[in-house]
Structure 1
Amino acid sequence: MKIVIQRVSGASVIIDGIIFSAIEKGLLILLGIEDADTEEDIRWLSQKITQLRIFDDESGVMNRCVKDVNGALLLVSQFTLHASTKKGNRPSYIKASKPDVAIPLYEKMIRQLEQDLGQKIQTGVFGADMKVQLVNDGPVTIIIDSKNKE
């Protein structure tokens, strides 16, 4: 699994011109799933997301996690994170899981994040044409691949 985490002061998902979900202070997480991903990847990434210290403390040092600041999470599936651009100019998405594999893992990630955060999270709609709006705070953007955890 690959994720892009963005610390935000606000983010939303718009589908068909209507706000589907929105958060204020927290993290926008873009999630890419491939066939080799497992529930272990979900558990590891969820812990990483909820415990990553990228919010400022009273001294202005990034020393607090999303839980410490009572932040929210917005999780959006994004198969394009697994794009291969080695050949030519048209990306290949062959490594991205098809919906029959990706949807159950996406749903497990939602449940795991809710368990680890201790509250409901906001999401997009898997496979939908979504417009994602955000105000990146910092800017702070971090990319994590669960295959590089060691």
Structure 2
Amino acid sequence: MRALVRRVLSATVSVNSQTVGEINRGLLVYLAVHRDDEDSDLGWISQKILGMRVFEDDAKKMNNSLVEKGYELMVISQFTLFGSLRKGFRPSFNHAATPEFAVGQYRKFLQIIKEKLNGRVASGEFGADMKILSIDDGPVSLWLDSKEKNY
């Protein structure tokens, strides 16, 4: 499982010109499921995202997590995080999970997050053509990969 996590002041996602999710200050997470992911990948990546200390304390140091601050979270499915340009210029997505498997893992991820976060949890629509508007804060962007935990 891979996630691109961005600290934002706000974010909105729409499908067919209709807003389907929005958050104020918090994290915008682009999430991709690998074809070999297991529930342990879900647990690891959700724990990292909820525990990430990327929000400033009174001393202006990044010491607070999303949970500690009570901020919000938006999750967007994005299989293209597993895109590879190793063999040319057209990306290959052969490491991404099938849509049937990925949607189940995506829903499990959302359920885990909603159970552990008191703030609002918004999401896009799996498999849809989405338009995402966000205002980055910092900017702060971090990359997580449940198979290569050395980030």
* TM-score, normalised relative to structure 1: 0.96
Which consecutive aligned stretches of 4+ in structure 1 deviate over 4 angstroms post-superposition?
none
Shift of 1:117: 1.6
Give distance in 2, aligned partners of 1:99 and 1:124: 15
User: Contact (CA 8 Å) 1:12, 1:21: kept in 2 or not?
Assistant: yes
Consecutive unaligned residues of structure 1, counting only runs of 5 or more, are: none
1:35 is the counterpart of 2:58 = no
Shift of 1:96: 0.8
Alignment of 1:1-150 (within 5 A): 1-119=1-119, 121-149=121-149
Consecutive unaligned residues of structure 2, counting only runs of 5 or more, are: none
1:61-96 alpha-carbon deviations (Å, 9 max, x no partner)? 000000111110100000000001111110001111
Shift of 1:116: 2.1
CA RMSD of aligned residues (A): 1.1
* TM-score, normalised relative to structure 2: 0.96
Letter in structure 1 aligned against 2:8: V
Give distance in 1, aligned partners of 2:7 and 2:22: 14
Which secondary structure does the structure 2 equivalent of 1:68 belong to?
Answer: helix
Which secondary structure does the structure 2 equivalent of 1:85 belong to?
Answer: coil
Letter in structure 2 aligned against 1:106: Y
Letter in structure 2 aligned against 1:129: D
Letter in structure 2 aligned against 1:8: V
Identical positions, percent: 37
Q: 1:26 to 1:119 in 2, by over 3 A?
A: closer
- The total of aligned residue pairs comes to 150
